[in-house]
Amino acid sequence: EAQVTQNPRYLITVTGKKLTVTCSQNMNHEYMSWYRQDPGLGLRQIYYSMNVEVTDKGDVPEGYKVSRKEKRNFPLILESPSPNQTSLYFCASSLGLAAQTYNEQFFGPGTRLTVL
Amino acid sequence: GESVGLHLPTLSVQEGDNSIINCAYSNSASDYFIWYKQESGKGPQFIIDIRSNMDKRQGQRVTVLLNKTVKHLSLQIAATQPGDSAVYFCAENIDNFNKFYFGSGTKLNVKP
């Protein structure tokens, strides 16, 4: 089944304790992206990756890191989480070819992160 | 399930009626627009998209209209069903498919 998976689905942690949220897709997609969703704000893009070893900042990158060593995986790293990073996080992927006319993004199920 | 938003604009329609959800986008340079549906506890799901060189595109029971003059996007759902109840987001894309900006969403409530 074509899908985007995220782990963990729920995480409660404390300020300053490094954590990683994993994201994996099995559709051979080039483009991957991380979003956070907060009440009343919709989804905001954190980082995206056009392909392996190519990453760039989205709208709200502060406090986050990403890596893209393999095509299928795009982990989100919080080196020193803070309470304002408490949010619902989504990973997404798409074919990502700029020349394509239409470019559907497939989203993972979400990770609910609480930072105390 | 997860709560995706508080105090979202809400549209309530009767089952079988048509629904129209509106979205104003911000950047006149945006050239690609997408509508997503998000059910409680799930990630957003693609519904339909449109490029800026079009003003209308139709899918199965859904139509997206784009008015670039006033930077307005709408999603029309024909014969709305209870399964259409969800939060709907519009998204705009600039920078050649790299960056996406989402609206804050509209909650659609379908009454049986």
Instruction: Tell me the per-residue pLDDT of A32-69, one tens digit each, with 9 for 90 and over.
Output: 999 999 987 889 999 999 999 999 999 999 999 999 99
Closest chain A CA to residue B104: A42
What are phi and psi for residue B82, nearest 5 degrees?
-55, -35
When the pLDDT of each residue in chain A is averaged and rounded to a whole number, the result is: 92
pLDDT at A87: 97
The number of C-beta contacts closer than 8 angstroms across A and B is: 73
Nearest to residue A107, comparing CAs of A80, A88, A85? A88
A78 touches chain B (CB under 8 A): no
The pLDDT score that the predictor gives to residue A1 is 84
Residue type, A82: S
Amino acid A42: pLDDT:
85
- pLDDT tops 90 at residue A95: no
Among all residues of chain B, which has the CA nearest to that of A30? B98
At residue B5, does pLDDT exceed 60? no
Looking at the complex, does the CB of residue B94 fall below 8 Å from at least one CB of chain A?
A: no
String of DSSP letters for A21-72: EEEEESS--SEEEEEEEETTTEEEEEEEEEETTEEEE-S--TT-EE--SSSS
Question: Could you give the 3-state DSSP secondary structure of residue A19?
Answer: strand
Residue B58 CA to residue A110 CA, distance in Å, equals 29
Q: Which of A2-11, A103-112, B83-92, B95-104 has the lowest mean pLDDT?
A: B95-104
Interface contact B42-A90, CB threshold 8 A:
no
| pLDDT confidence of residue B4 | 38
Lowest mean pLDDT among A83-92, B2-11, B71-80: B2-11
